[in-house]
Amino acid sequence: MLFHVRMDVSIPAGLPADTAAEIKAREKAYSQELQRSGKWRHIWRLAGEYANFSIFDVESNAELHDILTGLPLFPYMKISVTPLCRHPSSVRDGDA
């Protein structure tokens, strides 16, 4: 199942810099592991924002929920999820 996910991050100004850096390092490692596994297919930064658009390829809504709530930055995120399905006019056969 494919999902389009927008993540907007808002780290509290009062969070100590070393704590924020540690959380960001864990976030990067976790997201890169998911990208290597194929579950996090694409990630794009939104210019001028602390946000991204991502495409996930997972088995279920529950798996996506588990992945997203496992993000170290999850407590500081606003997340919007849109399920995707293949468009009948697409010329790309590999994106089911």
Which residue from 72, 69, 74, 75 is spatially nearest to 23, judged by alpha carbons?
72
**Vertex 81, ends 66 and 75: CA angle to 5°?**
55
Give the per-residue pLDDT at 20: 97
Give the per-residue pLDDT at 44: 98
- Assess whether pLDDT exceeds 80 at residue 90: yes
Start-to-end CA distance of the chain, whole Å, equals: 8
Q: How far is residue 64's CA from residue 46's CA, in Å, rounded to a whole number? A: 21
Give the per-residue pLDDT at 52: 98
Model confidence over 66-84: pLDDT tens digits? 999 999 999 999 999 999 9
Model confidence over 2-54: pLDDT tens digits? 999 999 999 999 999 999 999 999 999 999 999 999 999 999 999 999 999 99
Could you tell me the fold of the domain covering 2-84? Alpha-Beta Plaits (3.30.70)
Helix/strand/coil percentages in the chain, nearest 5: 35, 30, 35
Domain boundaries along the sequence of the chain: 2-84
- Assess whether pLDDT exceeds 70 at residue 95: no
Separation in Å, CA 37 to CA 34, 42, 46: 5, 12, 23
Give the per-residue pLDDT at 92: 80
